[in-house]
Amino acid sequence: MPATIASITEEILELKHRRHAVILAHHYQSAEIQELADLIGDSLELARKAREFSGDVIAFCGVWFMAETAKVLNPTRTVVVPDREAGCSLVDSCSADRVRAWRAAHPNDVIVSYINTSVEVKAESDILCTSRNAVAIVNSIPADRPILFLPDINLGNYVKRETGRENMRIWQGACFVHATFPARRLVAARSQYPTALVAAHPECPPEILRMADFIGSTSAIIDWCVSNPAREFIVMTESGVSHSLRRLAPEKQFHFVANEQCNCSECPYMRRNTLEKLRAALENLEPRVELDPELMRRAERPIRRMLEVK
Ligand code: 13P
Ligand code: SF4
Amino acid of residue 126: D
pTM of the entire structure?
Answer: 0.95
Q: Could you read off the pLDDT of 7-25 as tens digits, one per residue? A: 999 999 999 999 999 999 9
C-alpha span between 277 and 61 (Å, rounded): 10
Q: Enumerate residues 6+ apart whose C-beta is below 8 A from 133.
A: 44, 306, 309, 310
- Is the separation of the CB atoms in 28 and 256 below 8 Å? no
Region class of 263: left (phi > 0), else alpha (psi between -120 and 50), else beta: left
Q: Could you read off the pLDDT of 205-247 as tens digits, one per residue? A: 999 999 999 999 999 999 999 999 999 999 999 999 999 999 9
List all residues whose CB is within 6 A of at least one atom of ligand 1.
42-43, 116, 130-132, 175, 201, 203, 217-218
Å from CA of 200 to ligand 1 middle: 11
pLDDT band at 281 (very low <50, low <70, confident <90, very high): very high
Residue 2's pLDDT is what? 58
Residue 1's pLDDT is what? 55
Domains of the chain: 3-87+270-290 (3.40.50.10800), 90-175 (3.40.50.10800), 178-256 (3.40.50.10800)
User: Is the bond preceding residue 151 a cis peptide, omega within 30 degrees?
Assistant: yes
In the chain, % of residues over pLDDT 70: 99
Residue 51's pLDDT is what? 80
Helix and strand numbers (H, E) in the chain are 15, 12
pLDDT band at 201 (very low <50, low <70, confident <90, very high): very high
